[in-house]
Structure 1
């Protein structure tokens, strides 16, 4: 909402010295989002005056038409002689009044004007267009003024070129601020001044002589006011002051009747529509559209209506989309800037001022992809009491500016909703804000908002009609707090109840994040939305549980209408995006929820929980039954170099083994021994995919997978070659942990290291050998590490050698050589019994 400061002063007597910046600060303190203050006419310096064209000489020897004009500027040039000006515009003639800038002036943009020779003539100034004066972006031609202005009149004051405009971002709950009336109310409250409400007009009582109106849908339209004005002069123009106010507010002047309806909408906040009465057939009606009905709207588009659309009709069918846009069939004609034949112009209009259901208007606008200034206001909630006053204001302006006559008939169909009352404790704002405002302050602030307040300890508050957003005690508390000043609220920390900390799930989540960050991974947070396309790109086949998705009823994007079943789409998209921006060595991780519909009760309906109390057990149970299963997962993605090259040596690219090691890092944080076996699952390469398992209640349970992505997936997603990834379920990992992770035991005694090389069949996984060594070595084994894998003719075909470093240590003594050797021999014996391993060289 653009609010000219000069217009705002008509309703509030702001202190004379207050600038736009000062008003901006006050309104921001009151809770409005004033994004900017535009300085109109900044740098403008006269003389800028009204001129009358005395003569025009056409210069035809140039490629484009050029005119050499003599213009009377009165005594503004100090001589009284006409100014000679070269101009290329052709939308004016001899006798027209134009805007002339004389030498010595400076136009916006630091454009200095001087006499200069051009096209073989000396041009003593310039005839101005609206864009050159910063009035609008139109370049169609120069400004032609009404004939009543005398040559030499100061055009800066006449056109109100110097002003300040507040640019306010109006939030959905503050629809009343989409008007000068609403912003003026906030300014009056902020300064402690009196508001001159433009809606306080003497309105004649409804009677039966007005244009007939029939409301068939009272829920969609509860009140409809119709007023008629006859005898309009079709050639009448909008006066300059009206045009300039519309331009400053960001609207383009169109014609007198349309400009008046737009002006009243900006002033009062009530959208209006003007119909050519001669083109209306019978009574005006309000109803839902019939499926398949068509309407040509004012933008020239032919629209097929939906059964949910609220429409304005006459005896011939729809004549407008209610609250969104009127129809071309009843459009006002003959009051444009270039007047047509007077006989073809509109001389009688019917003014509509109605209240429409906000939800219906919002849905209609979105359904037809049609936005308008009226719809923006209706969908935020218009004052249902303002219709008759807004219609009266439009009638008064049409009578004043177009020479019309107000018809005695006044139609008001329907009735506005009853005022809403809210009961609130007088100290409720105090308890919400933690500040002792007191009853007097609360009552005073609520009355400034426009509420009627009664009661002592418990207040009965009647909400004003222009504030549909005030529905419960917390809304009223917010009004008191914002008017008292958010900046005056003390900074206090909440007191958490003693004895409550993070849950085991939360602690594991944080430990995993810290461990991966410490291992060189960067956390990436992604939206949890996916589409069918990315599942195809990942090579996930039909029948895979990851294909069964939870679809959103109202997705942010039509291409991503479902909730994710895996973390990989978002993580790989982040990797691709960073790679395309020049970051080629990447290691990303994410922890978050995936959504599986198999945990949802199909018969359970969604539950709307109360806000004034804690939900009871039944409500929470019903809510849980309606939700899908949401397991927590962790995933990593790697590409490029895992170790950088430098003077210290060659680097190393990221391999599938790094993805597996990331899984081991996560498992260590839970205190779980990870079981790694060969696996096969999309989107991983079938020969470079590891299945990650853990033991839960004596049985091996699948946690996830890790490895290198399939080349087809790499190509489809556009990620770097040899990209690797890992994904596993944290909830299952937590279950495998079975309890808190024990603290590491630190021994003061030395370690005994023993190396063994075991020869096994090539088909035996190293994980089985490690498990057997661990079981056989006993409690003295501190750790073991595979440091070499060898295969060759020396050990036989189909065989491989696995070399392990075993570390033994006791927490209460120094181990002897015999104790360490015995533990090693027991480990080798267990490996031999379990896997058929033999010591290399024996």
Structure 2
């Protein structure tokens, strides 16, 4: 909310500087987001009047003006503004004046100059040249009663400061200048000038029939008929200026009056053209299919969840949000109906977002507007209408005040001992009482308790903690002692057998992957297709329709990142994410870190697409494949030994997917994207993906010292023929399972041969695997008999386990 300091000080004027006032408000919870001067610095500019304006002898677009600035003699000033004419009062920059700084940041100094051969003794200014607005159609015309020679900053009250407050939703009582002044008075003790609402004289007894059919929408509806108003009257300059300094442009006099009272007292209201209302008004919930053209030009369709004001023919207004075009006031309006109502906050909240716009009225009503002063505020609006738009024939009718369902404030009790414990500083009951009474709250005392009956404008006072907050605001947050924590702080030391998440990030970055961070709520289609999750966890209030469920896999997020980069012509994408997934789990209970019914484990996932390495003359332009990413997973898990086995995953290719296990426990999957989803995402090639449980990835083996053998190892190569179905893992398991008396130190597969057609030694469906065995002893140099015994033990175990035979 934005407002000028001068308006605030009309209600409450503490002996504080602007900066001190802003600090006081901020430390009381009303954060001052910005302080901004109304006008930039300039000097030497006064009110002047053009006494004579003649054509320049040497220029068609210039005039030579004689300007009176109250000094006795007239100034000769050359001006090119189209509205420079005799009789108008304008800002006149005297010789020596400094205009606001330009783009270079330097002020513009006015000197005596020659314009096309005519001396100019100053400069006549537009609003844009003074940087008061962007209007540059001509000179800034001042009212006829502007005193000649008066400094323009003083006359236009430009030495003022704009306060911009960033208010939390519970501070609806401060969404007006008077509401802020009420807070300032409580904080500083300065006197508060309360507004008065004298009743205007009645000129007729006519009332408009109003029926409130929805007490859960509208609790109070007040209105009055005012006849014979001059809607073409000009809004006074003081009101135009104040509205502008609140960020509201002037529209028409009646609209400006309504907006002015809203900023002044926090009361949104609406003024109808009485002659355009058919019959009476009915306040009700909308009906499906009803439409309304709003004041902003949009046509909206309402339903039974949106409140409306309707007449006998059509809907005329969105309740508490915006009026309709059909009954809007215009230059032809003669009679008006002024309305002020109390709308229940829950009935207004979120309605304007359905139509993709927001209004000042809706912003206030959905937070809560005082239901107790609708009549008084109508009196204020009526008096302004009479003062600005009144005519000798203007007649005001009685206020029709319908009270249907007003909120009943419930007393709230504050326990002083509880307040002391929560605030963390010693306080007496008298101090708490004094703090609450400064806020003008009705307080009754008990034994160690204070009971407050909230006034009608304080919707936020509902529980004991609300009163505790009011006490600490009045006492002052700066008074809170700096109390160190009493509990000992002990750093949680990670065991040596576990690494931190940052180490995992660093390892993946070292493998050429870049980290991404994505939302945990995703598109429901991803869960069905990529995670095989038919019943994802749905959000009650998603921020967007395509982010309606919580993810149970990180794969969808990585594919979205891939598609985003490919759309921007990225040739190579290697990305990973450490993130939380959300799974249904009936065994989970409520604790400090868990939620009943849901499991939220951390996972690490990666995706590789495009060339395996960046373009380089010394490396082949090879596309990444399954075995490249499998190697990355092995490097990430090292020194743990990963075991890969054929598996199925909803997001991965049925024949190119493997489960990843460590120490006999499955921890994730690695594989190529399923062809169906590759086609659905319009990918030129299939990305390779992996997703692992982070807890398992964090584990690592503690290094154990082992002496290096001083004896030379021996290498022996064997080639065995096995069925095509034998995997590398099965081959290694059979080799290491042989009883070699501890002599076998390592085995490496270095050749695979498949015959094109059957032969005497091999048949179709068989393959030859060549393995290099490393044999060594730490105790003594091996002889041929020991070496041969170890090789034969390996061959015998291969034959027994895999039906392998030695290749001739």
TM-score by structure 1 length?
0.78
Residue 85 of structure 1 and its aligned partner are, at CA, apart by 1.8
**1:381 aligns to 2:354 (yes or no):** no
**1:320 aligns to 2:290 (yes or no):** no
State the match for 1:183 in structure 2.
Answer: 180
**1:166 aligns to 2:159 (yes or no):** no
Residue 410 of structure 1 and its aligned partner are, at CA, apart by 2.2
1:725 to 689, 693, 709: 689
Q: Distance in 2 between matches of 1:328 and 1:485?
A: 48
Q: Distance in 2 between matches of 1:161 and 1:702?
A: 73
* 1:28-65 alpha-carbon deviations (Å, 9 max, x no partner): 21222322111222222232324347547599997xxx
1:443 to 417, 422, 433: 433
Tell me the SS of whatever aligns to 1:25.
helix
Tell me the SS of whatever aligns to 1:588.
strand
State the match for 1:476 in structure 2.
Answer: 467
Q: Distance in 1 between matches of 2:58 and 2:207?
A: 59
* 1:255-276 alpha-carbon deviations (Å, 9 max, x no partner): 2222121111111111121223
Long gaps (5+) in structure 2: 102-106
CA distance change for structure 1 residues 360 and 435 in 2, over 3 Å: closer, same or farther? same
Write the mapping of 1:14-413 to structure 2, written as runs, cut at 5 A.
Answer: 14-15=14-15, 18-19=17-18, 21-52=19-50, 54-55=52-53, 57=55, 66=61, 68=63, 70=65, 72-75=67-70, 79-81=73-75, 83-88=77-82, 94-109=86-101, 110-114=107-111, 125-139=122-136, 142-198=139-195, 201=197, 211-334=208-331, 344-346=332-334, 348-403=335-390, 407=396, 409-413=398-402
State the match for 1:705 in structure 2.
Answer: 669
CA distance change for structure 1 residues 125 and 357 in 2, over 3 Å: closer, same or farther? farther
* 1:560-580 alpha-carbon deviations (Å, 9 max, x no partner): 333334211223444666796
CA distance change for structure 1 residues 748 and 643 in 2, over 3 Å: closer, same or farther? farther
CA distance change for structure 1 residues 266 and 679 in 2, over 3 Å: closer, same or farther? same
Asked if structure 1 preserves the Cα contact closer than 8 Å seen for 2:521 and 2:548, the reply is yes
CA distance change for structure 1 residues 123 and 677 in 2, over 3 Å: closer, same or farther? farther
Asked if structure 2 preserves the Cα contact closer than 8 Å seen for 1:751 and 1:808, the reply is no
**1:517 aligns to 2:481 (yes or no):** no
Asked if structure 2 preserves the Cα contact closer than 8 Å seen for 1:34 and 1:166, the reply is yes
Residue 458 of structure 1 and its aligned partner are, at CA, apart by 3.0
CA distance change for structure 1 residues 301 and 573 in 2, over 3 Å: closer, same or farther? closer
Long gaps (5+) in structure 1: 335-343, 602-613
Q: Distance in 2 between matches of 1:822 and 1:50?
A: 117
* 1:454-485 alpha-carbon deviations (Å, 9 max, x no partner): 22323322223222223222232233334444
Tell me the SS of whatever aligns to 2:351.
helix
Asked if structure 2 preserves the Cα contact closer than 8 Å seen for 1:273 and 1:326, the reply is yes
* 1:514-550 alpha-carbon deviations (Å, 9 max, x no partner): 44534536654321233367689xxx58xx7246644
Q: Distance in 2 between matches of 1:68 and 1:178?
A: 49
**1:425 aligns to 2:393 (yes or no):** no
| Worse-matched range after superposition: 435-444 or 319-328 | 435-444
* 1:403-430 alpha-carbon deviations (Å, 9 max, x no partner): 4667351222116322232233212232
**1:567 aligns to 2:567 (yes or no):** no
Write the mapping of 1:503-582 to structure 2, written as runs, cut at 5 A.
Answer: 514-515=503-504, 517-518=506-507, 520=510, 523-531=515-523, 540=529, 545-546=532-533, 549-574=536-561
Residue 108 of structure 1 and its aligned partner are, at CA, apart by 2.9
State the match for 2:734 in structure 1.
Answer: 772
Q: Distance in 2 between matches of 1:278 and 1:59?
A: 57
Write the mapping of 1:630-669 to structure 2, written as runs, cut at 5 A.
Answer: 633-638=603-608, 656-664=626-634
Q: Distance in 1 between matches of 2:744 and 2:431?
A: 71
CA distance change for structure 1 residues 67 and 481 in 2, over 3 Å: closer, same or farther? same
Asked if structure 2 preserves the Cα contact closer than 8 Å seen for 1:129 and 1:139, the reply is yes
Tell me the SS of whatever aligns to 1:417.
coil
* 1:318-372 alpha-carbon deviations (Å, 9 max, x no partner): 22111111122332233xxxxxxxxx354x4332221112232233312222321
| Worse-matched range after superposition: 355-364 or 398-407 | 398-407
Asked if structure 2 preserves the Cα contact closer than 8 Å seen for 1:48 and 1:105, the reply is no
| Worse-matched range after superposition: 825-834 or 712-721 | 712-721
* 1:765-818 alpha-carbon deviations (Å, 9 max, x no partner): 111122223444599699856474454889979534354666989xxx968859
Tell me the SS of whatever aligns to 2:171.
helix
Tell me the SS of whatever aligns to 1:47.
strand
* 1:141-180 alpha-carbon deviations (Å, 9 max, x no partner): 5443333335444332222223211122222222222211
Tell me the SS of whatever aligns to 1:172.
coil
Q: Distance in 2 between matches of 1:136 and 1:779?
A: 94
Asked if structure 1 preserves the Cα contact closer than 8 Å seen for 2:40 and 2:131, the reply is no
Q: Distance in 2 between matches of 1:210 and 1:508?
A: 83
CA distance change for structure 1 residues 44 and 150 in 2, over 3 Å: closer, same or farther? same
| Worse-matched range after superposition: 182-191 or 746-755 | 746-755
State the match for 1:2 in structure 2.
Answer: 2
Tell me the SS of whatever aligns to 2:604.
strand
2:448 to 457, 460, 467: 457
State the match for 2:104 in structure 1.
Answer: none
Q: Distance in 2 between matches of 1:831 and 1:12?
A: 96
Count of aligned pairs: 780
CA distance change for structure 1 residues 722 and 213 in 2, over 3 Å: closer, same or farther? closer
Write the mapping of 1:735-774 to structure 2, written as runs, cut at 5 A.
Answer: 746-747=705-706, 757-760=717-720, 761=722, 763-774=725-736
| Worse-matched range after superposition: 135-144 or 117-126 | 117-126
CA distance change for structure 1 residues 367 and 509 in 2, over 3 Å: closer, same or farther? farther
Q: What is the alpha-carbon root mean square deviation over aligned residues?
A: 4.8
Tell me the SS of whatever aligns to 1:559.
coil
Residue 246 of structure 1 and its aligned partner are, at CA, apart by 0.9
Asked if structure 2 preserves the Cα contact closer than 8 Å seen for 1:104 and 1:112, the reply is yes
CA distance change for structure 1 residues 512 and 28 in 2, over 3 Å: closer, same or farther? closer
**1:801 aligns to 2:759 (yes or no):** no
CA distance change for structure 1 residues 659 and 439 in 2, over 3 Å: closer, same or farther? farther
* 1:582-624 alpha-carbon deviations (Å, 9 max, x no partner): 996845232421456xx689xxxxxxxxxxxx989xxx99x95
Write the mapping of 1:803-822 to structure 2, written as runs, cut at 5 A.
Answer: 803=771
State the match for 2:644 in structure 1.
Answer: 676
Asked if structure 1 preserves the Cα contact closer than 8 Å seen for 2:413 and 2:449, the reply is yes
Q: Distance in 2 between matches of 1:784 and 1:467?
A: 79
CA distance change for structure 1 residues 428 and 665 in 2, over 3 Å: closer, same or farther? farther
Asked if structure 2 preserves the Cα contact closer than 8 Å seen for 1:50 and 1:154, the reply is no
Q: Distance in 1 between matches of 2:46 and 2:30?
A: 37
